[in-house]
Structure 1
């Protein structure tokens, strides 16, 4: 029995040869991605294009992971541009911290529900005692110390504080809520497990606290509350 194809399917070899698959060029894909990224950062397409150009120059060599707002702000061509990018960055950081803290609250609730009574950070000797307090920074009369991984000065500072007998709450910035990272950092910094078990030193995920304080300067940072205001110790 003969098979009768629909008219649209009855094509001559010449017609079939003229059919070309639709392809999206790499430049179209890149342009679409850049347009989306520009919107994410609150930038115009031409501003994001300038960011791409800047990152191909010296600033991209010295700081290859620099975000668009920082790069454009550093290389601003006028005070107005610099102010615009500074304000945009403040808005972006505020939204990021808000989302981070919202997720941290959800994480805390999930942990308490799924692992009631279990400590989230233990020091390398496998003995509990380093509770990860993730509530907003509150006054306790104690020193708060902010550190980050890969920071030699951070370890040296913590050692000096520990040797002096000071009590302090340590907050690790960029820990990504990874308890293992804090445990290893504490081991490398030679933090005394007995001090942690006694509570004279606590180990905590930063959870956006450092950004929320809005204090200038890089890490490490030692801060105290003075008359209701958190201030960085010189």
Structure 2
């Protein structure tokens, strides 16, 4: 039989099989509709917005901002910082600043609460064993630099304050800086930080925060002149 007569016969025989193969759906992986994916993404966005204390439209604006130049230059910005930097009015800027202060206060409180639990556990389990700092970071006076976040109190026209902050930054310490007597003027703190040489990237990343004292220095009851570097241990503020 000639080849041109055989090919039609083969194709005719295979036609039912090909039709079945083409009509049989691929199995083994769940099929998720675009509507289901949209609903899942919307639920995730809503939860994340709620975690940051934001409304859905604010979260949408944050996502939009991070897709532009801000996200390219600072890809790790948190939502509150991003929205605060790109605030359209003074009221918006104050709003996001207050949300960020509240979030930072909660974070610090959680960190300190865990630190107290850790210190208590160490004292309970190994009361006679001295802890060793494995970070390799030391202070100028020879002591170990605590791994927990520090609070640093400074004031204007204070060369020792500037020197101490430069030292802490060069050592890679993470700390919350409080300016005593700032009169709640943001520009006063920013100008001081610029003069001292605080790295803006560390401020954006929250490794260093700049804050008005607002009476905090007096409330913790630590004695002595400024600058003061303190940390909370077992509910008490200790000067380093």
Q: Is 1:120 aligned to 2:132, yes or no?
A: yes
Q: Do the aligned partners of residues 87 and 29 (structure 1) sit closer, same or farther apart at CA in structure 2, a change above 3 Å counting?
A: same
Q: Do the aligned partners of residues 25 and 147 (structure 1) sit closer, same or farther apart at CA in structure 2, a change above 3 Å counting?
A: farther
Over 6 Å off, 4+ runs: 133-139
**Match for residue 69 of structure 2?**
58
- Structure 1 position 114, deviation (Å): 2.1
* 8 A Cα contact 2:85 2:93, kept in partner: yes
In 1, the alpha carbon distance for the partners of 2:145 and 2:69 equals 44
* 8 A Cα contact 1:119 1:130, kept in partner: no
Q: Which has the larger radius of gyration?
A: 2
Report the RMSD for the aligned CA atoms in angstroms.
Answer: 4.3
- Structure 1 position 72, deviation (Å): 0.4
Q: Secondary structure at the match of 2:173?
A: strand
Structure showing greater relative contact order (alpha-carbon pairs closer than 8 Å, 6 or more residues apart)? 1
**Match for residue 16 of structure 2?**
none
Q: Where does 1:22-41 land on structure 2 (aligned, <5 Å)?
A: 25-41=36-52
**Match for residue 170 of structure 2?**
154
**Match for residue 186 of structure 1?**
none
Match of 1:77 among 88, 91, 112: 88
- Structure 1 position 28, deviation (Å): 1.8
1:129-177 CA-partner distances (Å, limit 9, x unpaired): 84859698699xx9995689xx9x715xxxxxxxxxxxxxxx832xxxx
In 2, the alpha carbon distance for the partners of 1:136 and 1:40 equals 25
1:92-142 CA-partner distances (Å, limit 9, x unpaired): 111111111101100111122222223231587xxxx84859698699xx9
Match of 1:97 among 108, 111, 114: 108
In 2, the alpha carbon distance for the partners of 1:75 and 1:33 equals 24
- Structure 1 position 30, deviation (Å): 1.6
* 8 A Cα contact 1:120 1:131, kept in partner: no
**Match for residue 205 of structure 1?**
none
| TM-score normalised by L of structure 1 | 0.51
**Match for residue 178 of structure 2?**
214
Q: Secondary structure at the match of 1:214?
A: strand
**Match for residue 23 of structure 2?**
none
Q: Do the aligned partners of residues 131 and 38 (structure 1) sit closer, same or farther apart at CA in structure 2, a change above 3 Å counting?
A: closer
- Structure 1 position 51, deviation (Å): 0.1
| TM-score normalised by L of structure 2 | 0.50
In 1, the alpha carbon distance for the partners of 2:165 and 2:119 equals 21
* 8 A Cα contact 2:152 2:227, kept in partner: no
Q: Do the aligned partners of residues 228 and 40 (structure 1) sit closer, same or farther apart at CA in structure 2, a change above 3 Å counting?
A: farther
In 1, the alpha carbon distance for the partners of 2:121 and 2:113 equals 13
Q: Secondary structure at the match of 1:121?
A: coil
Q: Do the aligned partners of residues 32 and 230 (structure 1) sit closer, same or farther apart at CA in structure 2, a change above 3 Å counting?
A: farther
Moved more, 105-114 or 49-58: 105-114
